[in-house]
Amino acid sequence: VVEGLALLDLGVSPYSGAVFHETPLTIYLFHFLVEYAELVFVITDVLTAVALYLAIQDFNKVVFKKQKLLIELDKYAPDVAELIRTPMEMHYIPLKVALFYLLNPYTVMSCVAKSTCAINNTVIAFFILATIKGSAFLSAVFLALATYQSLYPLTLFAPALLYLLQRQFIPVKLKSKNFWLYTMQYASLYLCSLVVIICLSFFLLNSWDFIPSVYGFILSVPDLTPNIGLFWYFFAEMFEHFSLFFVCVFQINVFFYTIPLAIKLKEHPMFFMFVQIAIISIFKSYPTVGDVALYMAFLPVWSHLYRFLRNIFILSCVLIVCSFLFPVLWHLWIYAGSANSNFYYAITLTFNVGQILLISDYFYAFLRREYYLTHGLHLTRQDGTEAMLVLK
Amino acid sequence: MGLLSDPQCRRALARLVVRLNTPLCALSYAAGLAWFLALAAPPLAPRTQMSENAMGSTMVEENFQLGARALAYARQFGARKAAAGAMPVTWLEQTLWALGLEPHRQPFARTLPFPDEARERYMVRGTNVYGILRAPRAAGTEALVLSAPCSEGPRNDQAVGLLLALAEFFRGQIYWAKDIIFLVNEHDLLGMEAWLEAYHDVNVTAVRSSGPLGRAGAIQAAVALELSSDVVTSLDVAVEGLNGQLPNLDLLNLFHAFCQKNGLLCTIQGKLPRGDGDSLPAYGQSLRTLLLMALAQASGRPRGDHGLFLRYRVEALTLRGVNSFRQHKYDMTAVGRTLEGMFRKLNNLLERLHQSYFFYLLPSLSRFVSIGLYMPAFGFLLLVLILKALDLWMKLNKGDAGERLEDGGEDPRPGLLALVPPVLICHGAGLALYFVPVLAQRAAAQHFPVSEAEGVVLTAVAIYVAGMALPHSTHRALAGAGERGWMALKLLALLDLALLLGCLALLNFSLGFLLAALMVPGAAAVQPTGPRVLQAAVLVLATPAGAVLLGVLAQRELEEAPAAAGEGWPLFLGAVGEGLLQHHLYGAVLCPVLALGAYPAWLLLWNVLFWK
């Protein structure tokens, strides 16, 4: 950002160097705030925490209402009393979410490093707040801003749409006219805001330079500086001939899970949102620990799933150990010169595998709880022996 | 995900871990130790071979004949040094100039954090002198370094003499493609650190030295020479650098190849491998050499002036001439020819040494153990901690499930917040152990009849022992965690220890392994129930300070100069003082790792033992 500002001050397009890949709105924001950079990042983190707090507070109310409705409609099996959530237990969850975000070492590291990921997180947090409050317009605007900044929040369109449909009591049926009407409205709000923001950027800098520099950069991954993601090592060792194919495969991987998850988690759009954010932060082309901090902040919301989680101990150990080994192996590779990139990539792989297993563990626990709620806690087979739920 | 998700498999594994925990742990620990001891045997230690293509053969024609000149230079240097009382800077500069090199001098100064009793210095002022031989035909973008220390008394005169003779000889040759720097450093490691920092224009430690120096290009390799006699019977090579970093194995292979070519006897750790092959005494000798190397690497002390080069990604070795009671002696010409051959081969390098291993252990000069073969030993030791942690987790969870069914709706982990005070207190004790000794040395010297160096060391020991009394004064704070709170604390302690040891093993394998071998049995076995005195004894044996003491004694034992009964305590204090000094002077990490990492982990286990 500093280089971009310097180039801008010289009157040259900030994208003419190969280092600056932020959007024009960001550069104009920092044009005025670069002296107070530390304060800006602290404030963005606080704003994110506050947005998450308010969002989860509202969300808990919605969850509780829905649960009450389902109990009255007798949709739950008779012996699931211990799975029902009480307001007492849900009282402190918003505070825990805000604290999880603020006190997470990853967030602190992001803030100290002054990574622009903090701004991404704030926009996504506001988007979630707007969605939960039910305001389609604000939700579309914030989603457009988030997509504008880094392409991947595009996939959050689906969970937001599902949530707003649920809120308006419009059933998700492909033949229903109401469904398509609402979808079109939301999509047009989103696309119009996106177009407005992009045109605004054009007028700020008087050129379309930023599109290849920002979006082309995210999609084609030219810069292979090592990070905690999966892309850099693959593309560093790949022949030029195949790199286009593999770039396409890797990028499709991020967007690919949206449809299956939308079909499975139709009734639970917030969980879908959480899983989608996690998938973005694992599979995006340039992930940072700030992205990891954002989806980890949501974990207290699903703390009632704790009894169904199966590998939480091993997974948390793996994630903590990998976080400590990252700087050790980086030091060995870059400063001591005794190791090489394979050592560092091994830790990157382990970290990402750990994250994937964490998300799938939560997914399984969520589905299992839903199954138990409708079918009762003590499952029996036809012949009366005890059955067990297995994910095939 | 079959293993982790299939419920039958999970239940079977869980049952295995809980029921067979102690036998599995014992087996794993024994396997780890046995694997390490087996590393010295031929199957796990293949022969070394040269991996770098440019240094493939030893086919050079060495023409060095100036052995007598070397001795003459040595006499002159010795005389001038005795007359000046310090480094004869002007004479060296004039000699280098007369030989046709570019001489430079570098004055430096350093105030030690506390007086160094072993070498009797506190404020050190010195000068390094070096001469650059510019490559006659090439651009000189790379450089090689040959260094000799200027020591007190008549030591290492012959090294400087040989250095000057080699300089004279090298100046007459036309095949040099890299610049060669001939460096004479004063005050051994301090001078070397000052020179390296000024050369690379960095400021890692607080050495004050003069401005920019005459430079010669990026240093590719360095050889440090130490010779104190006119004739040698063998050449001893030292590889361990600061913080256990090792040079590329190819440099060692180069040295070994040239010693064999010239018929020179070469040793490592001062030990010659027995020629018996696969017999037991040969294995014993290899094992002793391996253990000596492990102890040297674990201490993190550079075993020669070369140790400081490694931090700047320069491969370096120290060669020491040893004059023992053997029959066959080699004169300066033979040593000079070996060095000439090595430098000619290093001259051929096209890129930095990177083909061979950076992580290895040496049971002898011609055999090595690579990282892939020695890591499983450490893996087995770490497995003990992991098995114990899994066992504790499952016990905690089973207990929770039982409790919940009775009370209904209680918070599953009541003790999580109550674990914070012990953790904070133990890490606070570690911080005190790290910061207080050097900061409070003045106060210690004023109030007690000790010198400042002694004050620092004794303060460290005092804080260490005071930490052991913590459980008795803090058990009131810990009382809120309940009956099974000790399990959660022990789980945290085990995970902390495992994390520390894992990171340590990657950076300095020997330190990680030796600390693990010592601390793991105590860590796994400790619990508040059972025979307290016996467990306390086991845990005291496993303490990090105990590791230092045992290491020092073991090293003396393996060098065949066993320490007498009363020598243990002064040796230990000396080691602690040296460790602190090296941390502040060169950035050695043994001291912070033990004070901020191992000691708090051990204190947590000590707290678990005295749980009420």
The tens digit of pLDDT for each residue in A319-355 reads: 999 999 999 999 888 888 888 888 899 999 999 999 9
A346 close to B (CB below 8 A): no
Q: What is the DSSP letter of B353?
A: S
Q: In terms of DSSP bridges, do strands B142-150 and B179-186 run parallel, antiparallel, or are they unpaired? A: parallel
Q: A388 pLDDT band (50/70/90 cuts)?
A: low
Candidate from B211-220, B308-317, B599-608 with smallest mean pLDDT = B211-220
Q: B165 pLDDT band (50/70/90 cuts)?
A: very high
Among the listed residues A214, A213, A212, A222, the one whose alpha carbon sits nearest the alpha carbon of residue A244:
A222
Residues of B engaging A, defined by a Cβ cutoff of 8 Å = 1, 4-7, 10, 245-246, 310-311, 313, 352, 358-359, 389-390, 393, 408-409, 412, 495, 499, 502-503, 506-507
Smallest CA–CA distance from B360 into chain A, residue: A338
* Model pLDDT for residues B490-544, shown as the tens digit of each residue: 999 999 999 999 999 999 999 999 999 999 998 888 888 878 888 888 888 888 8
Residue A347's pLDDT is 93
- Tell me what the mean pLDDT of segment B18-24 comes to: 87
Q: Mean pLDDT in chain B? A: 86
pTM of the predicted model, to two decimals?
0.89
Report which of residues B203 and B28 the model is more confident about: B28
In degrees and rounded to multiples of 5, residue B178 shows phi and psi of -120, 150
Task: With a cut of 50, say whether residue B412 has pLDDT above it.
Answer: no
ipTM: 0.85
From the list B245, B352, B393, which residue is nearest A338 (CB)? B245
Sign of the CA dihedral with B490 first, then B492, B498, and B503 last:
negative
Smallest CA–CA distance from A326 into chain B, residue: B503
Whether B509 contacts B550, CB under 8 Å: no
Q: Do B311 and A336 touch (CB under 8 A)?
A: yes
CA distance A167 to A326: 43
Task: With a cut of 80, say whether residue B482 has pLDDT above it.
Answer: no
CA distances to B120, B144, B270, B540 from B453, rounded to whole Å, are 11, 38, 31, 26
Q: What is the DSSP letter of B20?
A: T
- Region of A330 (left: φ > 0; alpha: ψ -120 to 50; beta: rest) is alpha
Q: Do B4 and A306 touch (CB under 8 A)?
A: no
Residue A230's pLDDT is 87
Whether A51 contacts A126, CB under 8 Å: yes
Portion of chain A with pLDDT greater than 90, in percent: 43
* Model pLDDT for residues A142-157, shown as the tens digit of each residue: 999 999 998 899 999 9
CA distances to A90, A169, A175, B79, B187 from A166, rounded to whole Å, are 22, 5, 16, 95, 78
DSSP annotation string for B74-140: HHHHHHHHHHHSS--HHHHHHHHHHHT-EEEEEEEEEEEEEEETTTTEEEEEEEEEEEEE--SSS--
CA distances to A10, A351, B50, B376 from B521, rounded to whole Å, are 65, 29, 40, 18
Residue B406's pLDDT is 44
Give, to the nearest 10 degrees, the angle between helix A269-283 and helix A117-133.
170
Candidate from A7-21, B367-381, B385-399 with smallest mean pLDDT = A7-21
Task: With a cut of 60, say whether residue B315 has pLDDT above it.
Answer: yes
From the list A306, A332, A337, which residue is nearest B506 (CB)? A332
CA angle B134, B135, B138 (to 5 degrees): 135
CA distance B568 to B559: 15
From the list A82, A332, A360, which residue is nearest B507 (CB)? A332
A390 close to B (CB below 8 A): yes
Q: Mean pLDDT in chain A? A: 87
Residues of chain A numbered 221-260 and touching chain B (CB < 8 Å): none
Amino acid of residue B565:
A
- Tell me what the mean pLDDT of segment B146-162 comes to: 90
Q: A52 pLDDT band (50/70/90 cuts)?
A: very high
Task: With a cut of 70, say whether residue B40 has pLDDT above it.
Answer: yes
* Model pLDDT for residues B428-446, shown as the tens digit of each residue: 999 999 998 888 887 877 8
Candidate from A373-382, B240-249, B316-325, B514-523 with smallest mean pLDDT = A373-382
Q: Do A338 and B246 touch (CB under 8 A)?
A: yes
Q: Alpha helix locations (H) across B408-531?
A: 420-439, 441-447, 452-468, 470-478, 485-507, 509-525
Contacts of A391 in chain B (CB under 8 A): 5
Task: With a cut of 60, say whether residue B411 has pLDDT above it.
Answer: no
Mutate to test the interface with B, among A309, A338, A389 (most CBs of B within 10 A): A338
A219 close to B (CB below 8 A): no
Residue A383's pLDDT is 63
CA distance A289 to B211: 41
Residue B404's pLDDT is 46
Residue B405's pLDDT is 45
Amino acid of residue B114:
F
Candidate from A12-16, B334-338, B534-538 with smallest mean pLDDT = A12-16
- Tell me what the mean pLDDT of segment B280-285 comes to: 86
A360 close to B (CB below 8 A): yes
Contacts of B10 in chain A (CB under 8 A): 310
Q: Do A360 and B499 touch (CB under 8 A)?
A: no
Joined tokens for residue A294: 């954002």
Q: B407 pLDDT band (50/70/90 cuts)?
A: very low
Whether B494 contacts B516, CB under 8 Å: no
A50 close to B (CB below 8 A): no
Q: In terms of DSSP bridges, do strands B234-238 and B218-226 run parallel, antiparallel, or are they unpaired? A: unpaired
Residue A380's pLDDT is 67
* Residue boundaries of the structural domains of chain A: 1-318
* Residue B45 buriedness (CB in 10 A; 0-12 / 13-18 / 19+): buried
Task: With a cut of 80, say whether residue A293 has pLDDT above it.
Answer: yes
Q: Do B499 and A332 touch (CB under 8 A)?
A: no
A336 close to B (CB below 8 A): yes
- Tell me what the mean pLDDT of segment A272-285 comes to: 93
Task: With a cut of 80, say whether residue B399 has pLDDT above it.
Answer: no
Candidate from A65-79, B169-183, B231-245 with smallest mean pLDDT = A65-79
- Tell me what the mean pLDDT of segment A77-85 comes to: 78
Task: With a cut of 80, say whether residue A82 has pLDDT above it.
Answer: no
Give the CA radius of gyration of chain B.
Answer: 28
A331 close to B (CB below 8 A): yes
Residue A390's pLDDT is 65
Max mean pLDDT range (A238-242, A368-372, B306-310, B409-413) = B306-310
